[in-house]
Amino acid sequence: MAFERTLILIKPDGVQRGLVGDIVGRFERTGMKIVGMKLMQMTEQLAAQHYKDHVGKGFYAGLVKFMTSSPLVALAVEGPKAVENCRKLMGKTFCTDAVAGTIRGDFGVSRGLNLVHGSDSAESAKRELGLFFKPEELIEYSRAIDAWSWNDEDKG
């Protein structure tokens, strides 16, 4: 299994609805380790960098307006197959399509407000983590629970 890091954003709707603790807890309970976390206001410049692949699409202006409307929480999450496992935990993009047991399936109430963003590949994760975190903001540390969450096979 590949041991990797990914970016998770708890979007403005997740922050405004008071779901930050519940969402962070979901990732931690799967054995994932939070190696970076910050509450921040996304600027239009950061939104343009982060969503550069969506520039020119019909939903882009509304997406930027939403993402810059209120604080969000940026997380750097580490673990075996972090990108894939975190995306499974988040659930399908549209909350109305997400199954129970996923973040979007359990907490989602709107098709357009989907609570979280997660990098879609290891390459995207590296780029996105660089947008939201300086290298010195990502902390290397061990947890007692790691021995009970991951073994050498998981670390690849």
Please give the structure tokens belonging to residue 103: 């973040």
Considering the domain boundaries, does residue 96 fall inside one? yes
How many Cβ atoms are within 10 Å of 106's Cβ, its own excluded?
A: 17
Using alpha carbons only, how large is the chain's radius of gyration in Å?
Answer: 15
User: pTM for the complete prediction?
Assistant: 0.94
Task: Provide the domain count of the chain.
Answer: 1
Considering the domain boundaries, does residue 89 fall inside one? yes
% pLDDT > 90, the chain: 86
CATH number reported for the structural domain that contains residue 89 in this entry: 3.30.70.141
Considering the domain boundaries, does residue 91 fall inside one? yes
pLDDT score, position 1: 53
pLDDT score, position 2: 65
Closest CA to 15 of 67, 65, 93, 78: 67
Considering the domain boundaries, does residue 116 fall inside one? yes
Please give the structure tokens belonging to residue 144: 């007692």
54 is catalytic: no
Reported as a single tens digit per residue, the pLDDT across 88-122 is 999 999 988 999 999 999 999 988 899 999 999 99
Considering the domain boundaries, does residue 141 fall inside one? no
Report in angstroms the alpha-carbon separations of 129 from 75, 88, 150.
9, 19, 23
Considering the domain boundaries, does residue 145 fall inside one? no
Query: Could you list the residue range(s) of the whole structural domain that residue 20 is in?
Result: 3-41+71-135
pLDDT value at 147 more than 60:
yes
Reported as a single tens digit per residue, the pLDDT across 52-70 is 999 999 999 999 999 999 9
Q: Which one is catalytic: 11, 26, 104, 117?
A: 117
